[in-house]
Amino acid sequence: MTERRKRDFVSIPDFSTEELYETLDLAADLKSGREAGRPLAGKTLAMIFTKSSTRTRVSFEAGMFQLGGHALFLSSRDIQLGRGEPIRDTARVLSRYVDGIMIRTFAQEDVEQLAQFGSIPVINGLTDLLHPCQIMADVMTIRENFGSDLSGVKVAWIGDGNNMANSWLNAAHRLGFELRLAFPEGFEPDEEILQRARSSTTVVTTSDPREAALGADVITTDVWASMGQEEEADARARAFTGYMVDDAIMDAGTERAIFLHCLPAHRGEEVSEEVFEGSRSRVFDQAENRLHVQKAIMLRLMAG
Ligand code: CP
Ligand code: NVA
């Protein structure tokens, strides 16, 4: 008998295009209540956090409970990892107790090391480089609005070339939609991720937010200072002057354009109050979809 190699979800390209669509379809079934039962009964997910979280923590914990399993919240303040125990040791120890690990931390390399040394699936709950679970929820929200075929959809990213922008590039790479990114000089996304996306789909880059939004069906942004960049907040606010997604930017999109934001949002900075609370905003559907899509990811990785 050949042993099944465990799978991880540390970045969107870990899943093939077909696997991504299957996961998104399963998430839609879970949301509609078509998939029930307790497929993860008796299983435990360890959730390691070295950064704050509302959505990721609660949606993974509630999702695991809904699937019949159990989730363990492990703050780096409390576990030995925070006192310097190596990731590779943590990975091997946790692999003896639990059935999967979700981690939110700074370095992508730490998540990859956890996946390399652990014998159980590892899910990336955000790093400085990537936020793959969030983008899966965002893509699910796009499908709910525009249908399941993403090929004709244009997505505009307005803001920092951060973990969200990089994961949008990875999603465009696998799913083939057009991505239009506006960022100021010095705030570019990861070059390697950008080039890979360019090899498989149309990626437009500009420093003009309006140009990026022109003809877009989805206009999305994120905070200008991510977790860990708090001290740069003032300098970043200056660098991102003119990057607020307001009604004028939304009007540059198509008639059907929707607004997405992973949250937490800073009204009056990267998004205006009017857009955030307006009829084109889908931010709370998007937040809800974290729950459904992560349940689908956990099922794919941890069931059976
Ligand atoms: N969007 C998101 O990941 O939110 P949290 O930081 O609250 O988990
Ligand atoms: N880019 C943000 C996303 C928060 C969900 C951060 O990393 O803080």
Instruction: For residue 196, indicate whether it is catalytic.
Output: no
Which pLDDT score, from 0 to 100, does residue 261 have?
A: 98
Task: Please give the distance, rounded to the nearest whole angstrom, from the Cα atom of residue 42 to the centre of ligand 2.
Answer: 32
Q: Which atom of ligand 1 is nearest to the CA of 52?
A: 6
Q: Atom 7 in ligand 1: which residue has the minimum CA distance?
A: 54
Instruction: For residue 292, indicate whether it is catalytic.
Output: no
State whether the Cα torsion 286-169-52-96 is positive or negative.
positive
Task: Please give the distance, rounded to the nearest whole angstrom, from the Cα atom of residue 53 to the centre of ligand 1.
Answer: 5
| Model confidence, pTM | 0.97
Q: Which atom of ligand 2 is nearest to the CA of 51?
A: 8
**Is the domain covering 12-131+288-303 a CATH 3.40.50.1370 domain?**
yes
Q: Which of 110, 63, 54 is nearest to 262 (CA)?
A: 54
Q: Ligand 2, residues 52, 157, 162, 221: which to mutate, most atoms within 8 A of Cβ?
A: 162
- Encode pLDDT of 7-25 as tens digits: 999 999 999 999 999 999 9
Residue 168 dihedral angles phi and psi, to the nearest 5°:
-60, -40
12-131+288-303 and 135-286 in the same fold: yes
Which pLDDT score, from 0 to 100, does residue 5 have?
A: 84
Examine the pLDDT at 4 and tell me if it is beyond 80: no
- Encode pLDDT of 74-120 as tens digits: 999 999 999 999 999 999 999 999 999 999 999 999 999 999 999 99
Instruction: For residue 104, indicate whether it is catalytic.
Output: yes
Catalytic pick among 8, 108, 110, 134: 134
Which pLDDT score, from 0 to 100, does residue 2 have?
A: 56
Indicate the average pLDDT of the chain: 97
CB within 6 Å of ligand 2 — which residues? 126, 131, 162-164, 222-223, 226-227, 262
Q: Which CATH class is domain 135-286?
A: alpha beta
Portion of the chain with pLDDT greater than 70, in percent: 99
Instruction: For residue 222, indicate whether it is catalytic.
Output: yes
CB within 6 Å of ligand 1 — which residues? 53-56, 126, 134, 262-263
Tell me the mean pLDDT in the region 210-227: 98
Portion of the chain with pLDDT greater than 90, in percent: 96
Task: Please give the distance, rounded to the nearest whole angstrom, from the Cα atom of residue 275 to the centre of ligand 2.
Answer: 20
Delimit the domains of the chain by residue range.
12-131+288-303, 135-286
